[in-house]
Amino acid sequence: MATEKARIAAASRLRADSPVARRRRLVERLVQAVLFLAAFSAVAITVAIVATLLIESATFFRHVSLWEFLTDTQWTPLFENARYGIAPLVAGTLTTSLVALLVAVPLGTITAIYLSEFAKPRVREVVKPILELISGVPTVVFGYFALLFVTPLLQKFMPGLPGFNMLGPGIVIGIMIVPYISSLSEDAMRAVPMHLREASYAMGASRFQTALRVVVPAALSGIVASYVLGISRAVGETMVVAIAAGQQPNLTFDPTEAAATITAYIVQVAMGDLPHGSIGYQSIFAAGLTLFAITLFFNLIGHWVRRRYREAY
């Protein structure tokens, strides 16, 4: 018995030391290292984003005090008499996002509840891929819709509405993010186990009561996470507002006025030919840093909501 064991051990030692085995181990280690480097590139990109934004903004903040950046009410970095208050851009960003959410949250939530709890499987199987298809449409096309269809249509009901405004783009961004919200919320509601619904029905609850008081609360973390993703998309949306909102920094929360968002400002500057290293060039990095901070904030809230309110079934 003991000799048997010793022989096996000797044999395996022999195999582990053989050139074939050694080559195999080397290949394994090499492959693993290469794969790790690829995975690590995600970290490298994040570091590069933060570093680029910080380094270029640092030069900007050497000319402009952080206090002025945060409190001044005008944003005119390209004018003779330059003012560097980010507030008008933030106001434009928040206003268009708010309009978008007022459209997307009700439409998306009702569609999700309908698809998950009421629709026949056939309907769901047809509508879900359509929603996925819509979320692949380029945003520049939605900008075209905002400028040339939605705003002229709105002007029929609101004669005073200017050609560039935040209402039209806001509505279009809202329509654009309905598929995200409805698709993710529907996934969350479908993940609610059947026995919760069955228990509700057994207590005599109707389909609507079950949907509203059992399924929606149970899926709330996923639903809220989809809202947060929607906010993040709306805040970072660029082309719709760059085309249809007017590109004029304007400290207002009135959606019927023209204004610029952070993203639209970056596009506007990039379209012109500002010399590399000028303060106007650096101002887009300061604006980008602000945008990055805002979306990071919402993304972190999303993570937190998903973790904090996840229901354990």
Partner 1 sequence: MRLTPEQLHSLSVRHKAKDLAFEVIGLVVMLVSLLVLAALFAQLVADGLVRINGSFFLEFPSRRAEQAGILSAWVGSLLVMLVTAFAAVPIGVAAGIYLEEYAGKGWLAQAIEINVSNLAGVPSIIYGLLALGLLVYGLGLGQSILTAGLTLGMLILPIVIVATREALRAVPGTIREASFGLGATRWQTIRHHVLPYSSAGILTGIIIGLSRAIGETAPIITIGALTFIAFLPPAPITATPPFLNMDWLASPFTVMPIQMFNWVSRPDPAFHVNAAAAGVVLVAMTLLMNATAIWLRYRARKRIKW
Instruction: Please list every residue from 186 through 245 that binds partner 1, using CB under 8 A.
Output: 206-209, 211, 229, 232, 235-239, 242-243
CA atoms of 72 and 62, how far apart (whole Å) = 16
- DSSP assignment, residue 133? H
Q: Which one of 2-10, 35-43, 71-79, 252-260 is the stretch in contact with partner 1 (CB under 8 A)?
A: 35-43
Buried b (16+ CB within 10 A) or exposed e, 84-93: bbbbbbbbbb
Task: State yes or no: residue 138 binds partner 1 (CB under 8 A).
Answer: yes
Least Å distance, CB 133 to partner 1, is 5
Note whether 305 and 227 are within 8 A (CB).
no
Site for partner 1 in 249-268 (CB under 8 A): 263, 266-267
Query: Which residue, 84 or 145, has its beta carbon nearer to partner 1?
Result: 145
Note whether 165 and 153 are within 8 A (CB).
no
CA atoms of 263 and 53, how far apart (whole Å) = 14
Query: Which residue, 74 or 295, has its beta carbon nearer to partner 1?
Result: 295
Q: Which residues, listed in sequence order, are joined to residue 259 by a DSSP beta bridge?
A: 246
**Candidate list 78, 82, 102, 134; residue touching partner 1; CB under 8 A:** 134
CA atoms of 258 and 72, how far apart (whole Å) = 20
Question: Angle at CA 253, nearest 5°, toward 97 and 86?
Answer: 80
**Candidate list 28, 73, 158, 198; residue touching partner 1; CB under 8 A:** 28
**Candidate list 248, 252, 256, 299; residue touching partner 1; CB under 8 A:** 299
Query: Which residue, 51 or 73, has its beta carbon nearer to partner 1?
Result: 51
Binding footprint of partner 1, residue count (CB under 8 A): 83
Least Å distance, CB 110 to partner 1, is 4
Listed residue (114, 295, 311, 111) closest to 221, CA to CA: 311
**Candidate list 100, 127, 216, 245; residue touching partner 1; CB under 8 A:** 127
Least Å distance, CB 34 to partner 1, is 7
